[in-house]
Amino acid sequence: MNRLARETSPYLLQHQNNPVDWYPWGEEPFLRARREDRPILVSVGYSACHWCHVMAHESFEDPVLAAVQNRLFVSIKVDREEHPDVDRVFMDVVQALTGGGGWPMTVFLLPDGRPFFAGTYFPPQDRMGLPGFGRVLGSVAQAYRERREEVVATAEKLSLALAPAPLVPALPSEELLTRTTAAAEGRLLGAADPDNGGFGGAPKFPQCAVLEFLLARHVLNHKEASWEVVERALQGMAAGGIRDQLDEGFHRYSVDGRWAVPHFEKMLYDNAQLARIFLHAWQAHHHPGHLDLARRTLDFLLRRMELPGGGFAASLDADTAAGEGAPYLWSTEEVALVVGEERLALAQRLFSGPGEAVTDQGGWVLRGGQDLAGLAEELGVTAAELEAEREAMVGLLAAARAARPQPGRDPKLIVGWNALAILALCEFATASGEQAYLEAARRCARAILEKARVGGQLHHLFDGSTARFPAALDDLAGMGLAALALHEATGDPTWFELGLELAQMAEADYRDPDGPGWFDTSIGPGSNLPVRSRTLEDGAQPSGVSLMAELCLRLYALTGDTGWHDRAQAAMAALSSAADRFPSAFGALLTVMAVSQAGLVELALLAPDHSSHSELLQGCRQHFRPELVIGVGRVPSAEPEATAGPPLVRFRQLLRGLPTAYVCRNFSCRLPVTGAAELDRELVAP
C-alpha cells in the first residue's frame, strides 16, 4: 500500500495499491520536489469516472510504468471533489494547452507548483493519435532536465495567463439586463435540438441551468418558444436511457445525441437539479408527468444516496467489476428469461428494443416514453392495462438487476451538492404538501451543520469521520440559499439567520477586493496553487458567483438592505457581455438576471405558529414564480406583531388572528389577505 491508504476519499483509496508512490495533495510532496529538484505529476479524477479507472488499470497499476513515474517525478493524486479549487486551476491549464478538458487530468508542475505541461487521458502506448504515457513521462522529464529555461518560461507564461483579472465593472441597468437576457435566449433557441431535445449533439448533457433560464423567460416574459425547448428536453430525458427506467435517477450524460445510451455514473448534483426542473415545469403547466418525475427522482436520492444520519452521497460509480455500466445493460435473452418468452416482444416495444440503444459492448439500454395510448389501441387493450403491464415488468427487471454486482457509492457529504438537494426537497414539499420530503431536507441540513461545520466555520465536505477542507464559494452560497428555502418551508427564523450569516462570511472572505464578484476560495494561507481560483461559468452545477448573486438578491428582498442588491447587480453587469455571447455557460446567472429584470415580488407570511402558514404557502407555490421571495414571521397569541424573522415580516400583524399574507413590490405592500385564492389574485395583479 502507498500513502493513499491513509486517506478517506474513495477515489484515492482506489489507488492505494498502485505501485506508484502517490502523495495526497498537501505540503509534503512539494517539499520533497524542491528538495530533490524533481518535477511534480498531478493526476486528478473522481471515483465515478470511467476513464479514470481505465488509466489506472492501464498505467498506474503497471509496475514498469510506475517505476518510471517514481524515478522521474513526485506524484500527487487528487480527488477533484475534495479539491475543486485545484481542479479548476489545472483544468484551465489543460484547456489553455489543448483546447479541451476532462478527466482523468494529468498536469506536470515545477517544484514551486507552477504548471508547464498538461493533458487528460494518456494510453499506456501510442494509440488513437495520443502519445503513450511512458513516452510522455520520458519526454517531460527530459525537457525538465535539459531545457529548464524553456520549461520555466512556459510555466511563467501559463501562470500569468491563468491569474484571474478583476471583472471589469459595467453600469447596472434594467436596459442592460433586458438586452442580455433577450440576446441569450435567442442564441439558446437557435442552438436547441429540434428533434431530440437539449442542445447540440453527442455527448449530450442535461444543462439544467440553461433549461431553468428558458423556463424563467417563459413564465416571466411569456415566451412560448422557450417553453417548447424546455419541454422537448424534459421529454427526451424522461424517455431516454439517460434516465434509469428501473430504479429511477439520471445518469450524468448521454454519449449519443438522442439521450439513448448514457455515461453511467449518477451524480447527486445532476439529480437534485433535474428534480427541480421537472418540478418547476409542473408548476408552470401542471402536466402530472412532470410532478411524477420530480418525485421519482427525489425518491431515488432518498432510496439510494441518503447517508445514515442525513445528507446524500456524492455519486454512484459508472463501473463495477463486470465492466462499465454492467448493472444497467441487458441482452435479449436476459430480458426474455425475466419477463418470459411470451412477453418479450411486448417488452421490446415498451422499453425500445435492443436495436434502438446499444452500447459499444453490445448491451441493450432500456428506454421508455412510448405512446402507450397508441400502442394500447393497436394491441386492443386499455392504456391503464398497458401501464400496469409495464410497471409489472419494471418490478421483475429491477429485482433481477438487484442480484447483479452493484456500482460503488462515494459517501462523501459535499456541502454545495447537498445544498442543491435541500432546495429540491424543500420546493417539492412546499408545492406538493408532502412533508416527508421536508423532513429529508431538515435531516440533510442538520447533518451538514453537525458534521461539516466546526467552530462556526463551514467546511467543504464530511468524509464519514471528519470535516475537511475550507468551504468553497458554492458551498457557502448554496447552503445560504438552502437555508432560505428551509426558512420559507418551516417558518423557523433561525434558518433565515443562517442564510444571512453565510452570505456575510462569503462577503468577508471571498469577495474580490479589486472589482465585482467573488473568488472560489477564502482569503487564507497559500495552497501551492499558482493562482487563486475563480469560477465564473455555470457548468454541470451553478457557479459560486451565480449562487451568490441569487443569494444577494433574495437577501435584499428579505432585508431591504440595498448593499445586497448592489453586489448582485454589479456581478451581473460585469458578466453581462460574456453571458450574452456564451449563454450556455451562464444559465444560472441568466436566470438571476431574468428575475431581476422582471422585478422581485416580496411576500410576507404571518402565522400564529411555525406551521399554520403552510396552506397559504402551498397555494402560492402551485405556480412557478422565480421572482417570488418569501419571508415568514410568527405572531404568538400573546403578541400583537411579529418580532422575529427577516425584516420583511417584522412588526406586521395578523388579520383577524388568521395566517396573513402581505404582497409587496419594491417594498410597497398591498392590503393583507388571509385566503389562498385571494393571495393568488394578489400575486398576479399588476
The per-residue pLDDT for range 263-274, each reduced to its tens digit, is 999 999 999 999
What DSSP string runs through 73-111? -EEEEEETTT-HHHHHHHHHHHHHHHS---SSEEEEE-T
Residue 374 lies in a domain: yes
- Please identify, among 598, 628, 647, the residue that sits at the C-terminal boundary of a domain: 598
CATH number of the domain to which 100 belongs? 3.40.30.10
> Is residue 167 in some structural domain?
no
Q: Does residue 168 lie within any of the structural domains?
A: no
Based on the domain organization, do 185 and 306 belong to the same domain? yes
Backbone angles phi, psi at 596, to 5 degrees: -65, -40
Find the CATH number of the domain harbouring 315: 1.50.10.20
Low-confidence ranges of the chain (pLDDT < 50): none
Is the residue at 443 inside a domain?
Answer: yes
Is residue 97 within 8 A of residue 37, CB to CB? The reply is: no
Whether residue 645 sits in one domain with residue 555: no
Are 530 and 543 in a shared domain? Answer: yes
Q: In terms of domains, do 459 and 579 share one?
A: yes
Q: What pLDDT score was predicted for residue 630?
A: 97
Contacts of 633 (CB under 8 A, 6+ apart): 491, 493, 604, 605, 606, 607, 642, 644, 645, 646, 649, 650, 652
Asked whether residue 611 falls in the same domain as residue 590, the answer is: no
Whether residues 125 and 199 fall in one domain: no
Q: Check whether residue 153 and residue 194 sit in a common domain.
A: no
Of 406, 438, 467, which residue sits at a domain end?
Answer: 406
Looking at the fold, whether 472 and 385 belong to one and the same domain comes out as no
pLDDT in tens, 45-96: 999 888 999 999 999 999 999 999 999 999 999 999 999 999 999 999 999 8
Q: Verify that 576 and 634 share a domain, yes or no.
A: no
The burial of 499, by beta-carbon neighbours within 10 Å (0-12 exposed, 13-18 middle, 19 or more buried), is given as: buried
Residues constituting the chain: 686
Question: Are 33 and 157 in a shared domain?
Answer: yes
Residue with cell string 454541470: 540
Nearest CA among 33, 76, 17 for reference residue 2: 17
Give the H or E element holding residue 661.
strand 660-665
Closest CA to 251 of 240, 262, 259: 262
Clarify whether residues 218 and 84 are in a common domain. Answer: no
Question: How many independent structural domains does the chain possess?
Answer: 4
Taking the complete model, does pTM exceed 0.85, yes or no?
A: yes
The reply to whether 583 falls in a domain is yes
Our CA angle for 545, 549, 551, nearest 5°, is 115
Helix (H, G, I), strand (E, B) or coil at 657: coil
Q: Are residues 486 and 516 in the same domain?
A: yes
Task: Kindly report the backbone phi and psi dihedral angles of residue 529, in degrees, each rounded to the nearest multiple of 5, phi listed first.
Answer: -90, 145
Check: CB of residue 346 under 8 Å from CB of residue 390: no
Structural domain range at position 260: 174-320+410-598
Is residue 169 in some structural domain? no
- Give the residue from 385, 406, 427 where a domain finishes: 406
C-alpha cell belonging to residue 663: 404582497
Are the CB atoms for 603 and 197 separated by under 8 Å? no
> Quick check: is 486 in a domain?
yes
State the Cα–Cα distance between residues 648 and 496, nearest whole angstrom.
11
